[in-house]
Chain A
Amino acid sequence: MSLIKYTIRRIIALIPILLGVMFLTFWLAQLMPSDPWTLMAGEHMTDARKIYIEDQKQKWGYYDPILTQFLIYMKNLFSGDWGNTIAVLPKDTPVWDIISVKFPKTFEITILSVSIATVVGIFAGIFSAVHRNQWSDTIIRFFALVGVAIPVFWLGMILQFIFAVKLGWLDATGYQGIQYITYKPDITGLRLLDSFIKGDFDVFKDTVLHLIMPVFALSFISVAGITRQTRSSMLEVLELDYIRTARAKGCSEHQVIYKHAWRNAQITTITIVTLSFAGLLGGAVLTETTFALNGMGMMTIDAINKQDYFLINASVFLMTIIFVLANLITDILYGVVDPRIRY
């Protein structure tokens, strides 16, 4: 009961944060030196173009004060009109259409790599803490250190070199084989899930083969952080008094670790997992570039380079929501794991 109350309290507390951040980013976008309306004109201004621009200016409240503009923008945002692209190709398409294609791609890669990283990282961390200073611990720590130290694009390129160039087992880049380029995941937007539901196992297999390398590269990097965090908090918890109590009760070592210590050690790991999830959802630019996966990261960079006002606003808005939600989930999970936080 108290957990539900706690959750509702957290959600209510998020609303002002969300509005505040969104107003701030909206206002900052207004301060950009370039003018979206001029960009919209393009190189050859026709009469029809003039009318279109005037139309857009009216629609987004160009002649109104900034607060009104913000309200108009919010109103349109929530009614599903996120504006049209200005400079990013294809021009004049609704931003929503672009994001609804890119976001599922990024989401798919993110959820895969973060879940793999979480499971592997937590178990590696626990194992390494339990076997502290033994050779297995040393090996795990070595890999964790390597994972923290090496850049993801380097790892990606090495993978490409080995598995695509030398061995020729996998395609080096892209999201799908050339023969499936027209395949549209139209149920959830997630290729793996959709092809599986529809029973297109060729597409499924093709997607798996294309995702192995980027997912491995991304999760390898996240595993490192999660392992190190789990190990250090496990070591801390294992020294505490209630662990001694558990041993004195007659718990076996396995029970001590997985029943008594683990939950207490997870509190710090949760933050890392949710925040890296949020960070990756915003787009893993380096990985996407290395593997030519056209996801959120590349889209955002493109939008910023071309100063595409509506697309930038939309992706910042999305990112804000993702991070706020990630924080919410973190808070709720804290509450689930640790009853002391609920009050």
Chain B
Amino acid sequence: MIEVQKNTTNSDNSNTEEKELLLKVKDLKTYFYTEEGVVKAVDGVSFTINKNEILGLVGETGCGKSVTALSLLRLVRSPGKIISGQIEFEGINLIDLPENQMLHYRGNTITMIFQDPMNSLNPVMKVGDQLAEVYLLHQKEYLKEELAKARQENSILKEKLKQMKSDLKNASEEGAETLKVQINALKRKVKGRITLKDIAYRESSQLLDRIGLPNADSLINRYPHELSGGMRQRIMIAMGLACNSKLLICDEPTTALDVTIQAQILDMIRELKNRLHNSVLFITHSLGVIFELCDRVAVMYSGNIVEYGTVEDIFENPQHPYTKGLLAAIPKVTPESRKNKLAIIKGMVPNLIYPPSGCRFHPRCPHAMKVCQEIRPDLIPLNNAVQVACHLYDKDKSDPDLYRPLTNEERLEATI
């Protein structure tokens, strides 16, 4: 495993020399201790994210994508638990941090947006309150400075107003008219008492403006139920980018939205990434989205990463049978395809309490061999940019007993 990791860094360096490492996840294991048994939702996942890149995490429903994401923020709830592994963010292992230090990362440097925008905002709090909360949690110092500035400006305005009022008493008739107009204009600018919350609200409104949402001022005074799904997801993204987010984790952010809104949200994420130079971990089950958005991609199957590399390599030349199956399953719109059935990967996502032995994909794999049943394949680098966990690419295939295709009986047994 250590050797593999070395190779990973090597290949990364050779490929993209100027890129700096932001996050390194190594052998992450997150298990759920349920009454039926231990669900090994994430079972030894390793990947890295560089600065200013988008890593896609793709896989079927229930393969452990979301749990991986939640593990990064240490938000896995009981009965789930991170068993082992390292999550190194800018050189600091998040696994060992005490909870109160972890709070500084959540919502500040590592942020997350969720699948279902309809339920991800608190229904009884105004949008502005929810945005302002992020500032109040993570940028209190900055807000206090701003508050002091704003109060000073306000008191200067107040003084001016007072001065004008006293002038009004002595002014001549024509002068009084113009003064009155000036005083009224000034009165609108002067505020009674400015609080920290006002400043946080102002920041939120500016943030929505920056992110390109129209009518930010009215938006922050609304409740989530008054907004559309797309709008709520944009608010969520805004919330993720409110502070100095270095890693934005998007957990299927477009799944609950209709197609046109999906495209807009994806554009927004990409555009903001280019502007803010943050990194994104983009989780989805849609390969199309990955191809459009990501730099590199990790394909997950049943709690493991089975293939890992740049988007171009994996799409042009997929190596793992599962990735091949996934790519084949993308519907193609051609006149012939209308007559044919859609391609599928046979079988079901395996039970994570009693996962198949060896390679977890072998019961569904068209190339399954005896060795697949016995030994779990490690993620090994195939060429510079792609790593794959599959025995098909083993260097030493000398043992004829291990490297023979499964018989029909063995296959049947594996499926059961």
Q: Are B134 and A249 in contact (CB under 8 A)?
A: yes
**Are A338 and B124 interface neighbours, CB within 8 A?**
yes
List of A residues within 8 angstroms of B223 by Cβ: 339-340
In the complex, A182 has a CB within 8 A of chain B: no
Kindly state whether residue A337 has any CB partner on chain B within 8 Å.
Answer: yes
* Among candidates A241, A248, A259, residue contacting B116 with C-beta atoms closer than 8 Å: A241
Q: Which residues of B contact A246 (CB under 8 A)?
A: 122
Instruction: Give Cα A246 to B133, complex, Å.
Output: 9
List which A316-343 residues lie within 8 A (CB) of chain B.
337-340
- Considering the chains assembled together, what is the distance between the CA atoms of A322 and B124 in angstroms? 29
Indicate if the CB atoms of B119 and A340 lie closer than 8 Å: no
The CA of A303 and the CA of B239, in the complex, are separated in Å by 63
In the complex, are the beta carbons of B122 and A248 less than 8 A apart? no
Complex interface: chain A residues within 8 A of B107 (CB): 248-251
Q: How far is the CB of A76 from chain B (nearest CB, A)?
A: 46
Residues from chain B with a CB closer than 8 A to the CB of A244 are: 75, 114, 120
Stretch among B50-58, B98-106, B162-170, B362-370 lining the A interface: B98-106
| Chain B positions 349-402 with a Cβ under 8 Å from a chain A Cβ | none
Partner of B123, one of A250, A252, A338: A338
Q: Is the CB of B106 within 8 A of A248?
A: yes
CB contact under 8 A between A251 and B133, given known A244-B75, A339-B223, A339-B225: yes
| Residues of chain A within 8 A of B29, CB atoms compared | none
B75 touches A248 (CB 8 A): yes
Chain B residues 103 to 142 lying within 8 A of chain A, measured CB to CB, are 103-108, 111-112, 114, 116, 119-125, 133-134, 137-138
Q: How close is A170's CB to chain B, nearest CB, in angstroms? A: 43
Q: Say whether B87 faces chain A, with CB atoms less than 8 Å apart.
A: no
Total count of chain B residues near the partner, CB < 8 A = 28
Complex: A144 Cα to B176 Cα, angstroms: 72
A318 to B341, CA, bound (A): 72
Q: Which residues of A contact B225 (CB under 8 A)?
A: 339-340
- B106 x A247 contact (CB < 8 A): yes
A263 to B122, CA, bound (A): 10
B73 in contact (CB, < 8 A): yes
**Cα-based distance from A240 to B134 in the complex (angstroms):** 19
A247 CB contact (under 8 Å) in B75, B105, B123, B133: B75
Residues of A within 8 Å of B239, CB to CB, are: 245, 249
- A249:B122 contact, CB within 8 angstroms: no
Nearest chain B residue, comparing its CB with the CB of A263: B124
Whether A264 sits at the interface, judged by CB under 8 Å, is yes
Q: Which residues of A contact B236 (CB under 8 A)?
A: 245
A267 closest partner in B (C-beta): B124
The residue in A242, A250, A260 that gathers the most chain B C-beta atoms within 10 A of its C-beta is: A250
Quick check: B138 and A250 within 8 Å, CB to CB?
yes
CA distance A339 to B124 in the complex (A): 6
A245 and B105 contact, CB distance less than 8 A: no
The interface residues of chain A lying within 8 Å CB-to-CB of B105 are 250
B138 / chain A contacts, CB cutoff of 8 Å: 250
Let me know if A249 and B106 touch, CB within 8 A: yes
What's the Cα separation between A338 and B122 when bound, in Å?
Answer: 10
* Beta-carbon nearest neighbor of A253 in chain B: B99
Complex Cα distance, B225 from A339, in Å, reads: 9
Q: Nearest CB to that of B224 among chain A residues?
A: A242
Q: Which residue of B lies closest to A261 (CB)?
A: B122
Smallest Cβ-Cβ distance to B69: which chain A residue:
A248
Contact with B along A135-178 (1 / 0, CB 8 A): 00000000000000000000000000000000000000000000
12 example contacts (A-B, Cβ-Cβ < 8 A) are as follows: A242-B120, A245-B114, A245-B120, A246-B122, A249-B134, A249-B137, A250-B103, A250-B105, A250-B134, A251-B133, A259-B133, A264-B123
**Chain B residues with a Cβ under 8 A of chain A:** 73, 75, 100, 103-108, 111-112, 114, 116, 119-125, 133-134, 137-138, 223, 225, 236, 239
Known interface pairs A247-B106, A249-B106; 9 further A-B residue pairs with C-beta atoms within 8 A, sorted by A's residue number: A240-B119, A241-B116, A245-B120, A245-B122, A248-B73, A248-B106, A250-B108, A250-B138, A340-B123
4 tightest Cβ-Cβ pairs between the two chains A and B: A250-B107, A249-B107, A250-B106, A241-B119
